[in-house]
Amino acid sequence: MARQAGFTEIEVCSYATEGQRCLEKAMRGEVPFPDAIVIDLDIGFESGFELLRFWHGTPQLNSTPVVIWTMADEQREMCKLFGVERFVSKYEGPQALHSVLSAIIADEVSPASA
């Protein structure tokens, strides 16, 4: 889905702690900073809220767009408290996620962001 939206390098993490380690590497300059972070709140044995809390509490990451992709639409309000603007319920289907990711890519390549 992310490749179809225009992302070329994709890092998939199955656990919140693994995602946090990837973000820490980016902050240390070991890997490129992500253009976006997609979080499934029900990943692996951990809650995606752990990764969301890390993103929210780390000023270096706050400008990186976060997309919440999850089954539970009732988590939308909780995500707003964390400052998440992009929430896609899996019930909306993969096209909804594609649209959000495409919009992020479009914002990055628009003349206004140059």
Q: Which SS3 state, helix, strand or coil, does residue 69 take?
A: strand
The answer to whether position 5 is within a domain reads no
**Residue 15: predicted pLDDT:** 85
Q: What is the CATH number of the domain that holds 29?
A: 3.40.50.2300
Q: How many domains does the chain have?
A: 1
Domain carrying residue 17: 12-113
Q: Is position 3 within any domain?
A: no
Binning pLDDT at 50, 70 and 90, where does residue 54 land? Answer: very high
Mean pLDDT of 34-44: 83
Residue 25 located in a structural domain? yes
Q: Is 97 left (phi over 0), alpha (psi -120 to 50) or beta?
A: alpha
53 lies in a domain?
yes
Give pTM, 2 decimals. Answer: 0.81
pLDDT at 101 over 80: yes
- Taking each helix axis from N to C terminus, what angle separates 48-56 and 16-27, rounded to the nearest 10 degrees? 30
Asked whether residue 31 is domain-assigned, the answer is yes
Rounded to 5 degrees, what angle do the CA atoms 29, 47, 10 make? 40
Q: What is the pLDDT of residue 74?
A: 82
